[in-house]
Amino acid sequence: MKKDLPENIVEDVAMAIVLMGETPETESWTVYFINLKKELISNVLISSKGYGEKDGVMVRTSTLRHFLGDLEPMTYAGVEAIDTAVFGLTNEYWLSYYIDGTIYDKKFIFLPESIVDDNLIKIPLINKPGVMIK
């Protein structure tokens, strides 16, 4: 039964969409996974997809899966480049990883139009502007 399963609480990890650089014509953004824990996490797997309405039409992007392997404490890894054209969609990242043989998972959702200048912060460890969900 579901009630018999342990509640594995995900803490001290984050997903961030980071501004890597910009020119007058374009901006370059990358999605990162950040391990803010003081311990190794292993077998990090992230699936990503976008969905929502654009110009009055329902849109769904392809589902992508990214295997990042093991991440040392207080480190980060790039997941994927992201185009500004999908910032108007809901961008979903489903994370799963292991610590000492126990699986943890969490869904991170960047809502439409949440990646805007007003929401930018300095992303820990990466030290660049971006939007982060913990």
The answer to whether residues 84 and 66 touch, using CB atoms and an 8 Å cutoff, is: no
Determine the residue type at 50. G
Return the DSSP state at 61: P
24, part of any domain: yes
Question: In whole angstroms, what is the distance from residue 69 CA to residue 77 CA?
Answer: 10
Query: Where in the sequence is the domain holding 101, given as residue range(s)?
Result: 2-124
Residue 130 lies in a domain: no
**Residue 132 belongs to some domain of the structure:** no
Residue 133 lies in a domain: no
What CATH number does residue 28 fall under?
Answer: 2.60.40.10
Q: What is the rounded CA–CA span in Å between residue 85 and residue 131?
A: 16
| Tens-digit pLDDT string for the chain (134 aa) | 566 666 788 999 999 999 998 877 788 999 999 999 999 999 999 999 999 998 889 999 999 999 999 999 999 999 999 999 899 999 999 999 999 999 999 999 999 989 998 999 999 999 999 999 99
Please check whether residue 134 lies inside any domain of the structure: no
* 131 within a domain of the structure (yes/no): no
Structural domain count of the chain? 1
Evaluate whether 29 touches 20 at the Cβ level (below 8 Å): yes
